[in-house]
Amino acid sequence: MSAPDSPDFSSLDPATQAYILAQPALEPPIGQDSIFDNPPNYSAAAVVLFSVCLVLITLTFIGRVYMKFFVMKQKSLGDYLLILAYALLIVNFVFTYRMTEKPGIFVHQWNVHLGDFIYFLRDVFITSQLYIGSILLIKVAILLEWIRIFAPPGNRHFVYWASHIMIWANVVFYVSIFIAFNIACTPYEYNWNVLLKGNCDRVNTHYTNLATSIFNVISDFMILIIPQRAIWKLHMSTKKKLGVSMVFAIGLLACVSALIRLIETVRHALSADYVYTFAGIMCCCAAELTCGFLVVSVPSFPKAFSAINLSKLLSKLSFRSSSSKLRSSKKSGDASSWPPSSGGYSEVKTKAAKTSAEGDERQLFPMAKLQNNSSNDYSLYDSAGHAERGIYQTTHFEATESFDPNATRSEYRRQEQWDDNRI
């Protein structure tokens, strides 16, 4: 990094300041020149990665909130923490997308102006604080979810105590890191502006990123292991245990992301090319946050879906579709095809109007179940040949897909004897 030796940058004349800010943020290697206009980068690929992560996070977040607040109606503290984490994450992604434009992702530092590098460091500082808040809230929400699922009230076993220990360990660690970042430098702006006179002697933050990466690996593995012990003690078949275990093992992806981030952090600490190496950390952080939302959200989906009465929903959809088709068929049909009525047609319309309001809530029954309940409707027509059209007038039969005309003719003959007395 090429910082000037001037004791007071602000005292320099504007022309000198502009000249210094236009210099490369790092001296290029021997034999290479700085490329400030459209330098080699992987910004487009990074935008795709960040967009995929953001879409996955948003879908799982919306799905969980909808299921917990509107379907299951079982709101908990973890849900509100997750909402706050999502808000911080959105702000984080706003700054991340801005960094893909300037200076870019996987751009070598000698291809970046010193002035742009200062703004980059400021965005790095802001996103680091937002990341700390987001990852802390997500991990606490996950651990609270483990307690809710595996340690019901009055049952304080391994999951309960291990989860509580991890909650407080995460709170203490991340809050400490957050405080250290914000009190280390004097003046505060010296955290990112290398042209100011100042120091960071209050707290040594040189290895803060490395410590955070190591802690993330340990805590992610602990969060992965805690529910597994309880799952394999459940009284169910090994196949079912394996299936449930895999649902909760999505955290393995978070562990992989944390391990890769640790590698990238070590690489970043050993390199002078700060801009280029930090891009790898950004990608790992995005993946880790995505995995966190998946871990806390996906396990609640099966229970939420089971709470939905799918059979009733499908019955409604099937009835409405069937009713719509029959109404369309009636409108296009010839009215003269109907047999002359013996004074009972107006009564049929009245009965159909009364029952149509209830049709949407009725279950679909086979013909055999309707013989004793709806036989009064069979005698409304002179012949079995018109039975298919007659279904339109009776809600009970609108759910019937097809039947044998010969079979229904026998049904009409058998039941007409006592149907006339009920009309």
Co-location of 335 and 293 in the same domain: no
Position 4 in a domain: no
Co-location of 225 and 292 in the same domain: yes
pLDDT of residue 388: 40
Co-location of 247 and 320 in the same domain: no
Co-location of 266 and 344 in the same domain: no
pLDDT of residue 73: 83
Mean pLDDT over 171-198 rounds to 92
Give the whole-angstrom CA distance, residue 269 versus residue 207.
Answer: 8
Q: Is the pLDDT of residue 391 over 70?
A: no
- Comparing 127 with 423, the larger pLDDT belongs to 127
Which DSSP letter does residue 203 get?
S
Q: What is the band of 338 on the pLDDT scale with cuts at 50, 70, 90?
A: very low
pLDDT of residue 312: 56
Position 3 in a domain: no
Give the tens place of pLDDT for each residue, 280-314: 999 999 999 999 999 888 877 766 555 555 555 45
Co-location of 256 and 149 in the same domain: yes
Q: What is the band of 124 on the pLDDT scale with cuts at 50, 70, 90?
A: very high
Indicate the range of 10-24, 104-118, 166-180, 255-269 predicted with least confidence: 10-24
pLDDT of residue 419: 40
**Residue 397 near residue 323, CB atoms below 8 Å:** no
pTM higher than the cut 0.75: no
Position 252 in a domain: yes
Cα separations (Å) of 64 from 12, 20, 131, 134, 375? 55, 51, 21, 17, 47
- Comparing 273 with 72, the larger pLDDT belongs to 273
Position 386 in a domain: yes
Question: Of the residues 306, 323, 353, which one is the last residue of a structural domain?
Answer: 306
Give the whole-angstrom CA distance, residue 336 versus residue 93.
Answer: 67
**Residue 383 near residue 410, CB atoms below 8 Å:** no
Co-location of 277 and 195 in the same domain: yes
Cβ neighbors of 157 (< 8 A, separation 6 or more) are: 151, 230
Q: What is the band of 87 on the pLDDT scale with cuts at 50, 70, 90?
A: very high
Mean pLDDT over 113-139 rounds to 95
Q: Is the pLDDT of residue 270 over 50?
A: yes
Co-location of 254 and 207 in the same domain: yes
Q: Is the pLDDT of residue 175 over 60?
A: yes
Q: What is the band of 123 on the pLDDT scale with cuts at 50, 70, 90?
A: very high
| Interhelix angle 208-231/158-183, nearest 10 degrees | 170
Indicate the range of 92-106, 185-199, 280-294 predicted with least confidence: 185-199
Give the whole-angstrom CA distance, residue 292 versus residue 138.
Answer: 6
Count of domains forming the chain: 2
pLDDT of residue 311: 56
Co-location of 161 and 202 in the same domain: yes
Q: What is the band of 361 on the pLDDT scale with cuts at 50, 70, 90?
A: very low
Mean pLDDT over 41-65 rounds to 94
Domain that holds residue 355: 313-422
Co-location of 166 and 285 in the same domain: yes
Q: Is the pLDDT of residue 137 over 80?
A: yes
Cα separations (Å) of 286 from 48, 67, 145? 12, 25, 22
pLDDT of residue 355: 43
